[in-house]
Amino acid sequence: MFIDEARIYVKAGDGGNGCMAFRREKFVPRGGPSGGDGGRGGDVIFIASGHENTLLKFRYNPEHKAGRGRHGEGSNKTGADGEPLEVQVPVGTVVWDEATRERLYDFTRPGERFVAARGGRGGRGNARFATSTHQAPRECEPGRPGEERRLRLELKLLADVALVGFPNAGKSTLISRISAARPKIADYPFTTLEPHLGVVQMDDLRTFVVADIPGLIEGAHEGHGLGIQFLRHIERTRLLVHLVDVSPASGRQPAEDFDTVMRELASFSRELVEKPMIVAAAKMDAAQDPERVESLERLARERGLALFPISSVTGSGIEELKRAMAARVL
């Protein structure tokens, strides 16, 4: 199951209490205070992992607590520090503070670390309060509480190229032709219910990542269809490939499909429609009316966009499209 948002609670460990004790040994008439300090509480640390690709585990385990510090002891023994808690999150995770709506961290590379909650400081024992004029202190400090926060985790997949378009426009078939990704492919709308990633390898062994996003329909920003909940996954991409179905089977006009999807992208973020874009006239093997293709060509020329007629079934135009994508992202 692909989960790209989760709300969790994190609690760092409390610091241990300081100890009040006095040294009492034979032949040591003036032993003095010997209470040790409490140990520091453990931190809650997020670590970006390239082996994670969903936030599913946080749905079933929403609470994450680090170990508390142990109390100080006599003979000036400091309590042990609490065990830190290391939590692995997928690369591309954004951490938000639920209370302040502040973005705390954005994981973009494997191995990045972020301390989500810091452990409390241990309290001082009474040995720390001894002075020349106060030689038998009976003061000691309690440990400080560790930080606690309610966080919202949001996953944005990392890809170089994103495929966008109407449902059943051929995005899943295309990504299966140019990469090793094997999304579900069927002859009905909304076959793709979650984003898929595929790695495309060129002849010179250079690679780039392509994301297949569930299709958009008119009114997606109002929640129609699958809505625009998955568009966050293309915010990091450097190139959009807009697939437009030019076959008569869609029952719609290609130019109208293009404008509809662009409106839905703009309703989510103006930055999306301003990204570099390539238009792909999909399903050319089934295109029977040249006017449908020509109308899309005119629209692409007006907007200064490159147009590539392709057929994922026959393979026509696929290599040209791959080279165009590589030229823009590699």
Return the HEC string of the chain.
CCCCEEEEEEECCCCCCCCCCECCECCECCCCECCCCCCCCCCEEEEEECCCCCCHHHHHCCEEECCCCCCCECCCECCCCCCCEEEEEECCEEEEECCCCCEEEECCCCCCEEEEECCCCCCCCHHHHCCCCCCCCCCCCCCCCCCEEEEEEEECCCCCEEEEECCCCCHHHHHHHHCCCCCCCCCCCCCCCCCEEEEEECCCCCEEEEEECCCCCCCHHHCCCCCCCCHHHHCCCCEEEEEEECCHHHCCCHHHHHHHHHHHHHHHCHHHHCCCEEEEEECHHHCCCHHHHHHHHHHHHHCCCEEEECCCCCCCCHHHHHHHHHHHHC
Q: What is the mean pLDDT of residues 122-145?
A: 93
* Whether residue 266 sits in one domain with residue 148: no
Residue 26 belongs to a domain:
no
Most distant CA pair in the chain, distance: 107
Confirm whether 284 is domain-assigned.
yes
Q: How far apart are CA 325 and CA 278, in angstroms?
A: 8
Q: Indicate whether 193 pLDDT > 60.
A: no
In this structure, the answer to whether residues 179 and 128 fall within a common structural domain is no
The CATH number linked to 203 is 3.40.50.300
Name which residue leads in pLDDT, 197 or 69: 69
Residues 89 and 178 in one domain: no
Q: Domain for residue 127, yes or no? A: yes
On whether residue 185 sits in a domain, the answer given is yes
Average pLDDT over residues 84-106: 95
For residues 191 and 112, membership in a common domain is answered with no
Return d(Cα 283, Cα 316) in angstroms, integer: 10
Confidence of residue 264 (pLDDT cuts 50, 70, 90): confident
Owning domain of residue 143: 5-17+31-155
Mean pLDDT for 43-50 is 95
pLDDT at 116 over 70: yes
Query: Which of 155, 176, 204 corresponds to the end of one domain?
Result: 155
Same domain, 51 and 194: no
Question: Is the predicted pLDDT of residue 293 greater than 90, yes or no?
Answer: no
pLDDT at 216 (0 to 100): 74
- Cα–Cα distance measured from residue 150 to residue 11, given in angstroms and rounded to the nearest whole number: 9
Query: Is residue 210 domain-shared with residue 306, that is, in the same domain?
Result: yes
Q: Give CA–CA dist 162/272, Å, rounded.
A: 11
In a domain, 25, yes or no: no
Which pLDDT value is given to residue 230?
A: 75
Which phi and psi (to 5°) does residue 297 adopt?
-65, -40
Residues 171 and 286 in one domain: yes
User: What's at 266, amino acid-wise?
Assistant: A
Indicate whether 176 and 135 sit together in one domain.
Answer: no
pLDDT exceeds 50 at position 188 = no
Query: Which of 112, 130, 155 is the C-terminal boundary of a domain?
Result: 155
Q: How many domains does the chain have?
A: 2
**So what's the pLDDT on residue 251?**
78
Are residues 318 and 187 located together in one domain of the fold? Answer: yes
* pLDDT per residue as tens digits for the range 198-231: 888 888 888 898 988 877 766 655 555 555 667 7
Residue 285, token pair as written in the block: 């093997």
Q: Flag whether pLDDT at 1 surpasses 60.
A: no
Separation between Cα atoms, residue 152 and residue 168, nearest integer Å:
32
| Whether pLDDT at 162 is above 60 | yes
Place of tokens 């449902």: 167
Residues 184 and 300 in one domain: yes
Q: Does residue 22 sit within a domain?
A: no
If one compares 288 and 327, the residue with the highest pLDDT of the two is 327
CATH code: domain of residue 67: 2.70.210.12
How many percent of the chain have pLDDT more than 70? 92
How many Å apart are CA 163 and CA 312, to the nearest integer? 14
Residues 221 and 321 in one domain: yes
Do 165 and 151 sit in the same domain of this protein?
A: no
Indicate whether 47 belongs to any domain: yes
- Averaged pLDDT, 230-254: 85
Q: Is the confidence at residue 192, as pLDDT, over 60?
A: no
84 is a domain residue: yes
Q: Residues 281-290: pLDDT tens digits?
A: 988 888 777 8
Chain mean position to CA 185: 26
| Mean pLDDT (whole number) for 5-24 | 95
For residues 235 and 248, give the distance between their C-alpha atoms in angstroms, rounded to a whole number.
Answer: 32
